[in-house]
């Protein structure tokens, strides 16, 4: 296996040489600090895998039952699995950032400290929520606990550990939580759920006419706004007006069945997800709630629907990988 890995690296080195020559003719060159040849499965010269944008990408050998398959018409079984985790450097950066915030709040009230820590922890865990991060999250959570314990002990050098714990930590649903007297709680790393990115199936294409596959995928996409994703699932991927499948490039809108101006609320029973073009057609046809079954509608003002209620919501959804 190691021999095969070495051979592969030698081949890649040859490719590197040819690319370099080819680029030179165009007046370009590869940046040495950003170019590295590495094996992702077999350690070679003490190196394995690579870091990219704060992620560490590496493969591990696995048995038959855990291995995936290649795509295509004649799939073969892979003998490894790919794990993407937060990189060591990224863990260190996050740890330093949290330590700096805690240091800056040595004498500040507990609530102020929590207020500054929470958005940093939330943002960081969201960034890593689509890869293999649970272990990193629990390690970071423990590290935050140790740093906060030191922070509390520095504030009360003459008090017992028990006294300090009782003052700054409280039991919340069976878990010890760093919580201010005002009720503000520290956001824990492990509270961010891992939502694995689902790869597009081997032979699938957005042009294959399998609308349900693509819209169901859209409803599970980690980047889809949660409310829209839930509505896509509830409506089985179809527009509530025209009944056609949503496609990833469609502009979608959330519409109130009973307009806000007529007392409609934001509950999911009063909301439906529709194509923007279907919405435009509908507003051109009615656009008011007056006369809905009422004999005497003199008291219902004829107001057009609130324009702010409908807005494009699916801009963040991208198709494919």
Residues found near Zn ion in the complex (CB under 5 A)? 239, 241-242, 275, 278
d(CA 162, CA 91): 30
For 247-301, the DSSP string reads -TTS-EEEEESS-GGGT--SSGGGEEEEEHHHHHHHHHH----TTSS-S--TTS-
Residue closer to Zn ion (CB basis): 5 or 241: 241
Pair 202, 72: CB distance under 8 Å: yes
Closest CB 276 distance from Zn ion, rounded Å: 9
Q: What's the closest the beta carbon of residue 41 comes to Zn ion, in angstroms?
A: 47
Nearer to Zn ion, 231 or 278 (CB): 278
Are the C-beta atoms of residues 195 and 129 closer than 8 Å to each other? yes
**Smallest Cα–Cα separation from 115: which of 194, 178, 51?**
178
Cβ closer to Zn ion: 224 or 278? 278
Widest distance between CA atoms in the chain? 87
CB of 282 to Zn ion, least distance (A): 10
Plot region of 76 (φ>0 → left; ψ -120 to 50 → alpha; else → beta): beta
Nearest to 289 by CA among 269, 310, 267, 263: 263
Least distance from C-beta 225 to Zn ion, angstroms?
19
> Residue with CB nearest Zn ion?
239
In the bound state with Zn ion, the residue whose beta carbon lies nearer, of 19 and 251, is: 251
User: Which of 128, 246 has the CB closer to Zn ion?
Assistant: 246
Residue among 137 and 245 whose Cβ is closer to Zn ion? 245
Q: Cβ of residue 246: shortest distance to Zn ion, in angstroms?
A: 8
Residue with structure tokens 């330590």?
99
Q: SS3 of 113, please?
A: helix
Least distance from Zn ion to the Cβ atom of residue 227, Å: 18
């Amino acid at each position: 296996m190691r021999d095969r890995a070495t051979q592969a690296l030698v081949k890649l080195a040859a490719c590197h040489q040819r690319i370099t020559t080819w680029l030179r003719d165009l007046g370009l060159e590869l940046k040495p600090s950003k170019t590295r040849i590495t094996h992702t499965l077999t350690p070679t010269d003490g190196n394995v895998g690579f870091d990219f944008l704060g992620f560490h990408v590496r493969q591990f050998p696995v048995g038959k039952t855990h291995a995936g398959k290649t795509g295509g018409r004649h799939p073969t079984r892979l003998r490894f699995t790919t794990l993407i985790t937060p990189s060591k450097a990224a863990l260190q950066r996050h740890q330093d950032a949290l330590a700096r915030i805690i240091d800056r709040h040595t004498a500040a009230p507990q609530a102020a400290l929590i207020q500054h820590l929470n958005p940093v922890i939330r943002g960081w865990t969201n960034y890593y929520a689509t890869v293999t991060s649970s272990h990193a999250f629990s390690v970071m959570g423990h590290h935050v606990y140790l740093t906060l314990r030191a922070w509390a002990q520095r504030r009360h050098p003459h008090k017992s550990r028990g006294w300090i714990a009782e003052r700054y930590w409280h039991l919340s649903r069976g878990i010890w939580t760093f919580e201010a007297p005002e009720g503000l709680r520290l956001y824990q790393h492990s509270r961010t759920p891992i939502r694995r990115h689902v790869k597009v199936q081997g032979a699938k294409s957005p042009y294959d006419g399998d609308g349900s596959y693509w819209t169901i995928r859209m409803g599970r996409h980690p980047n889809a706004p949660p409310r829209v994703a839930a509505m896509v699932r509830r409506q089985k991927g179809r527009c509530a007006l025209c009944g056609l499948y949503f496609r990833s490039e469609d502009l979608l809108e959330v519409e109130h069945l009973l307009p806000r101006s007529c007392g409609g609320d934001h509950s999911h029973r009063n909301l439906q997800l529709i194509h923007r073009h279907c919405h435009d057609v509908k507003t051109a046809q009615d656009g008011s709630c007056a006369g809905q079954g009422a004999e005497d509608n003199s008291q219902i003002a004829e107001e057009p629907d609130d324009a702010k209620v409908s807005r494009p919501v699916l801009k963040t959804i991208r198709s494919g990988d």
